[in-house]
Amino acid sequence: MQKIGTIGFFAIATATLAGCAVSTAPTDDRKEVSSQSEPLIAPGMLSDDYSPLVAGSGETVAAFNPMLGQSPENVTFIGQDAFVTSLLSGEILRVSEDGTVTSIHVPVPPGTFVAGIQAHGSNALVFSAALITQNGPVGSYVYKLNIDTLDLQELAYMPGAALNGLAIEDLGGVESWLSVDAMAPSGVIWKGSLEGGPAAVWYEGPAVQPNASYVVTPCNPPMPVGGNGARAYTELGMRSLVVSNTTGSSVTKIPLLQDSTPGQEALWYDTSAAPWYPDDIWPDHCGIPGFRRGAFIATHGQHRILYGNPYTGRQTELTTGLDCDGPTAVVVHGQWLYATCGGDPLICRPDQNGNPDPSLSNLGTPALKRWKLKWTYLLPCRP
């Protein structure tokens, strides 16, 4: 275990794990979820029009400095403080309720992408860091950080992996982390203990498999990203891992079976027909009064945040690029929807209508933003 300081930044790297665009989605054997799979829903009784769920164009909680390589990738909360991974600068940015930003420098080699992050208890963060060169992934670490003492514990190292989104889950009575490999050709999710020790492949398959038909465009970085976001989810007492696939343009639910193994994948969203290229997702754990239960989706390459229902396929734009340039993560905290925006300097920025414009170079306006949600949960829900 080592203690880390709060100084220093790495120079901006030349590539990023953040969202990429593709031409088509991969062919796979995941099961489509039919409308009859949706529990406790009477047809025609609940709305699929989610447009009134957020108020206004949102507000900036904190702005980050792109000249220092600050590039927000993911976000989690402990209390009222947000903790944002900066993909390119080797740090975690702590944002207090009043918008004050404090840098927690992570001692990783240059070229290491600090990506997925999840709170653990009241004073710890678990996060992934992937070292990638022009020749591909070198390997990935999972760390545990005590935010009070700044003690840093290396939990696991996976040679050749490029970890991104990360979730925490109880697997067979063992508190564990699950993290998607963004670039493994076969589509891999790793698992390991929060106490440390060797990691192992938990899942391998199409849910997080990069699209072999990936096409580089001026609005998307030259990185074949498959698995991106990962969130634990509860529905009718059943636990699942929900994952996004950026180049696959899909969101998939993977059940967590009682023996801690993955169950049969269920394809929640396939957006290849009108591609949104999802980066991060936030399943709605409680459901919204008067609406069908759905999920928030950050679409990095399309500069939009969506809310949609996986059983009907209905998706509604909640924000555009004018509100959040290049969203990389979404989290609901209290009555607010939070998103990290503008994190990738290689992604083109949106035009005056909020649409991606290849002729517009993204100079970067990285920030943590939020929108007031127009409903209140009546009961607490477990993420």
Residues 11 and 70: their CA atoms lie apart, in Å, by 9
Based on its alpha-carbon atoms, the radius of gyration of the chain, rounded to whole angstroms, reads 19
pTM for the predicted model, two decimal places: 0.85
In this structure, the chain runs to a length of 383
Q: Which pLDDT belongs to residue 18?
A: 34
Residues 365 and 324: their CA atoms lie apart, in Å, by 9
Domains in the chain: ranges and CATH:
2-373 (2.120.10.30)
CA 299 centroid distance within chain:
10
Mean pLDDT by 10 residues, the chain (383 residues): 38 32 34 36 48 74 91 95 94 96 90 95 97 92 96 97 96 94 96 97 96 76 83 86 92 93 91 78 73 80 81 76 86 90 73 76 79 64 53
Q: Which pLDDT belongs to residue 376?
A: 55
Measure Cα distances from 68 to 15, 86, 366 in Å: 15, 10, 11
Measure Cα distances from 240 to 23, 77, 209, 261, 263 in Å: 29, 21, 18, 11, 9
Which value, to the nearest 10 degrees, does the dihedral of the CA atoms of residues 95, 245, 183, 173 take? 70
Q: Which pLDDT belongs to residue 295?
A: 87
Nearest alpha-carbon partner for 344 in 360, 362, 331, 356: 362
Q: Which pLDDT belongs to residue 330?
A: 95
Task: Determine whether 139 is exposed, middle or buried from the number of CB atoms within 10 Å of its CB (0-12, 13-18, 19+).
Answer: middle
* 245-247-253 Cα angle (round to 5): 15
